[in-house]
Amino acid sequence: MDQVCAAFPVLPGKSDAAREFMRQLDTDRHADYDRSERRIGITKEAWFLAQAPAGDMLVGYMESKDFGNAIGMFSQSRDAFDLWFKRSFAEITGFDFNNLPPGMKLPELLSSYQA
């Protein structure tokens, strides 16, 4: 099981938009979110808004049997929900899931504990 955690800087003035985006994932768009995650193979996902000296960060934790494949599927997806998610995320962070950086490496897992 791949465990991935990634942090994305929130653009200035977009913290409330980040909260609203995540609220929508948990309410109005939950069924579409669930369908998308299942389709691409994400079995767990949690998002946090972290305050850092350089500004707010969206921190995401995900689990998948093959996260590399999942992020590739998501990046290439033209599903209406996925396009909404990627557009909203880009408006909040500036990160474009449709155009992953060349040579992008997944964060390095240094330690994991489970009881």
Alpha-carbon distance of 58 to 51, in angstroms, equals: 9
Q: With contact defined as beta carbons under 8 Å apart, do 111 and 29 qualify?
A: no
Indicate the length of the chain as a whole number: 115
Count of structural domains within the chain:
1
- pTM, entire model: 0.92
* CATH number of domain containing 49: 3.30.70.1090
Hunting for tokens 């609203």 — which residue is that?
A: 20
Q: What is the helix (H) or strand (E) element at residue 48, kind and residue range?
A: strand 42-52
For residue 32, give its domain range: 2-93
Instruction: Identify whether 54 is part of a domain.
Output: yes
In a domain, 18, yes or no: yes
Residue 24 domain-assigned (yes or no):
yes
- Summarize pLDDT for 26-78 with one digit per residue, the tens: 999 999 999 999 999 999 999 999 999 999 999 999 999 999 999 999 999 99
Q: Is residue 34 part of a domain?
A: yes
For 13-106, where are the alpha helices, taking DSSP H only? Answer: 15-26, 30-40, 67-76, 80-93
Q: Which of 96, 89, 106 is nearest to 10 (CA)?
A: 89
- 14 located within any domain: yes
Judge whether 113 lies within some domain: no
Position 28 in a domain? yes
